[in-house]
Amino acid sequence: MASLTIRKLDDAIKAELRLRAAQHGRSVEDEVRTILRAATGGDMPADNTKYRIAASSQGAVAAQDSGKLRATLIISGGIAAYKSLDLIRRLKDNGFIVRCVLTHAAQQFVTPLAASALSNQRSYTDLFDPASEFDAGHIRLARDCDLIVVAPATADLMAKMAQGHADDLATAILLATDRPVLLAPAMNPLMWANPATRRNVARLIRDGVRTLGPNTGSMAEAGEAGVGRMAEPLEIAARALEMARPPARPLDGRRILITAGPTHEPIDPVRYIANRSSGKQGFAIAAAARAAGAEVTLVAGPVGLPDPAGVTVRRVESARDMLAEVDAALPADAAIFAAAVADWRVANAGEQKIKKTASGFPHLDLVENPDILSTIAHRAEGRPKLVIGFAAETEHLLANARAKLVRKGCDWIVANDVSPATGIMGGDRNTVHLVSRDDGAPDGVGVDSWPAMGKDEVAAHLVERIAAALKEPAA
């Protein structure tokens, strides 16, 4: 039987064998034995390198690494690829499990083996890999992670991304992902400055991809300097951590109650008193509060808006129904009464459709509706910490809002001018003034006037203020 002397092997092969052996915790001799056994078909599943690495990487994720962040690191072909090996360590230092994907060009600069040894995970190179443990591996690599980092991102890779190509593993992953993507471009300054690259980068940023660098400095090419150096691994790892961490949700654990839309007060089974409220502002606040982590109940009068995702929506018709649903939804940390509740209802609403008669017009008696905002704001027990009213006025906006703050007993009034000329009623933009109790102000009321903005933006700002106010200790 022929014998094999490892010492006599080619240096490159010896280096690879050493890395592989270290990675598997075996002696070099054992590593060679394992490879040969696998190659001759004996004992495949136990000793086949791919099976072993796959098993150990998946096992690691399942056992000690559950809850860790996961990054797919795509290394494309540029000289800066040597820094990507350091990036693997920096990402690991920041708590990431890192799986590397190397393009064909990248393998001219660094080997998959080095990436595997540093990441302790299998590295990936081919779109069609019959031995991959994944079904449709690019889909898994694209989705089974918290973010994708491309470092270095070459001009060529970015051009392909901008065009939506998917002809190798790296581009297929980037096309198939729904995770945040961070690019660390690196290239010659002239390539970076080229209008084609500028166009591609602008396109990618518009598509939601984030970029870091390139930095200014000397290039690998002798005597060349400029903008083109890949950002430092420490910087990239820090940005990756920032992007992969779940966003802060300032209303996590809070319960928020919102009323929205008009009310319909029946005159008879087919007619009602109504107003022009669209409900858009209240619905936007509900969505923003939910996005900020709150458990939200939205009590909505008749509007044609769909339920905001993740929000409990109670649809009502009249003011009295609205009050009943508000009561049922309490307790809450904050209640925002954005509904345009009808002040009056018909006392003698007909049970049947009121008919025209020769004897004249029907007589409708109006009675006052319950004031939901005032009822809840004046409650001695179970009052939300923050009670916010809206004041839709067509004249004397601020004076009316100040008076309302006191009369209704609420903490803030969001005042807006709803004169037809403003287009606010039913429109998508709003100009509001936040009127609040302010012991420092001469009349005990402070006014913060916000510039004109979209109703979504008003909602986001208001939610920010609410989150801050709920953090303050009770007065």
Catalytic annotation, residues: 275
Q: Report the residue from 311, 391, 466, 470 that binds ligand C5P according to the rule CB under 6 A.
A: 391
Q: Tell the smallest beta-carbon distance from residue 408 to ligand C5P (Å).
A: 6
Closest CA relative to residue 84, chosen from 92, 95, 75, 72: 75
Contact between 319 and ligand C5P (CB under 6 A)? yes
Shortest distance, CB of residue 180 to ligand C5P, whole angstroms?
38
Closest distance between ligand C5P and the C-beta of residue 423, in Å? Answer: 20
In the complex, least distance from residue 201 CB atom to ligand C5P, rounded to whole angstroms: 47
Q: Minimum distance between the CB of residue 167 and ligand C5P, rounded to whole angstroms?
A: 57
Residues 6+ apart with CB under 8 A from 1: none
Give min distance, CB of 339 to ligand C5P, in A: 4
**From the CB of 342, what's the least distance to ligand C5P, in Å?**
7
Residues sharing a CB contact under 8 Å with residue 354, sequence separation 6 or more, in sequence order: 267, 268, 271, 362
Q: How many chain residues are in contact with ligand C5P, going by CB under 6 A?
A: 14
CB nearer ligand C5P, residue 179 or residue 404: 404
Nearer to ligand C5P, 181 or 340 (CB): 340
Q: Which CB sits closer to ligand C5P, 179 or 264?
A: 264
Cβ nearer to ligand C5P, comparing 339 with 467: 339
In the complex with ligand C5P, which residue's Cβ is closer, 78 or 389? 389
- Using the rule CB under 6 A, which residue among 23, 72, 369, 436 binds ligand C5P? 369
Residue 200 or 416: which CB sits closer to ligand C5P?
416
Taking CB under 6 A as the criterion, which residues in 229-268 touch ligand C5P? Answer: 259
* Binders in 370-389 for ligand C5P, by CB under 6 A: 371-373, 389
Nearer to ligand C5P, 74 or 391 (CB): 391
User: For ligand C5P, which stretch binds (CB under 6 A), given 170-178, 364-372, 430-438, 460-468?
Assistant: 364-372
Stretch that binds ligand C5P, among 116-124, 169-177, 308-316, 368-376 (CB under 6 A): 368-376
* Residues 110-129 contacting ligand C5P, CB under 6 A: none
Q: Give, as ranges, the residues between 323 and 342 that touch ligand C5P (CB under 6 A).
A: 337, 339, 341
| String of contacts with ligand C5P for each residue 261-300, x by CB under 6 A | ----------------------------------------
Gap between the Cα atoms of 276 and 314, Å rounded? 20
When the beta carbons of 109 and 390 are compared against ligand C5P, the nearer one is 390
**Mind spelling out the 3-state secondary structure of the chain?**
CCCCCHHHCCHHHHHHHHHHHHHHCCCHHHHHHHHHHHHCCCCHHHHCHHHHHHHHHHHHHHCCCCCCEEEEEEECCCCCHHHHHHHHHHHHHCCEEEEEEECCCHHHCCCHHHHHHHHCCCCECCCCCCCCCCCCHHHHHHHCCCEEEEEEECHHHHHHHHHCCCCCHHHHHHHHCCCCEEEEECCCHHHHHCHHHHHHHHHHHHCCCEECCCEEEECCCCCCEEEEECCCHHHHHHHHHHHHCCCCCCCCCCEEEEEECECCEECCCCCEECCCCCCHHHHHHHHHHHHCCCEEEEEECCCCCCCCCCCEEEECCCHHHHHHHHHHHCCCCEEEECCECCCEEECCCCCCCCCCECCECCCCCEEECCCHHHHHHCCCCCCCCEEEEEEEECCCHHHHHHHHHHHHCCCEEEEEECCHHHCCCCCCEECEEEEEECCCCCCCEEEEECCCEEHHHHHHHHHHHHHHHHHCCCC
**Is residue 318 within the footprint of ligand C5P (CB under 6 A)?**
no
Question: In whole angstroms, how close is the CB of 247 to ligand C5P at the nearest point?
Answer: 30
- Position 412 contacts ligand C5P (CB under 6 A): no
Q: Please give the residue ranges that form the binding site for ligand C5P (CB under 6 A).
A: 259, 319, 337, 339, 341, 343, 369, 371-373, 389-391, 404
